[in-house]
Amino acid sequence: MTPIPTTVIRHPKEKIRKCSLRFLHERPEMTFLRGKPGFQFDATGFTLLAVEAPPLSLADAGRPLLLLDSTWRWLPQLLACVTGTPVLRSIPGDLRTAYPRVSKVFEDPEAGLASIEALYVARKLLGDDDASLLDGYHWKEAFLASLRPNDR
């Protein structure tokens, strides 16, 4: 299968050295953009991953993915950069992140995953099961171990 084209919009304050997606910059199906002030992205025709949306399924295959990469606290600013009419979808199930969260000022949603975890699961659900997406992820083994057998 051809890898699913994926666009990542990263918040300008997001530290690349701490970003779970930093090992994917050279992949041809990946496009990385910075959500600087004034930046706009027309997401019409994209599937935008969002926590409070209907679940992603194989019926969503055929559209490119859009992933917003930021802390949960900065997500509303990044979402304001998105224009058009993307199709909002969530990662179904009760998956939990393996990434150790340490925010002392903002509470993260229970269903929130690290960006790389969300990308891996989303592409897998769309028929693009590519575990190499997780190759540079420090918590790869812990995350894969946390998946139910039918999620792997």
Q: Which residue did the predictor score with more confidence, 125 or 108?
A: 125
Q: Note the pTM of the prediction, 2 decimals.
A: 0.82
70 in Cβ contact with 10 (< 8 Å): yes
Q: Does residue 1 form part of some domain?
A: no
Q: Residue 109 pLDDT > 60, yes or no?
A: no
pLDDT mean over 10-19: 75
Residues of the domain holding 22: 6-151
Distance, in Å, from the CA atom of 129 to the CA atom of 145, rounded to the nearest integer, reads: 16
Q: Does residue 45 form part of some domain?
A: yes
pLDDT tens for residues 65-76? 999 988 777 788
What integer pLDDT is reported at residue 145 of this predicted model?
81
How many structural domains does the chain have? Answer: 1
What integer pLDDT is reported at residue 152 of this predicted model?
45
pLDDT tens for residues 38-55? 999 999 999 999 888 999
Helix, strand, coil percentages for the chain (3-state, nearest 5): 30, 20, 55
Q: Does residue 21 form part of some domain?
A: yes
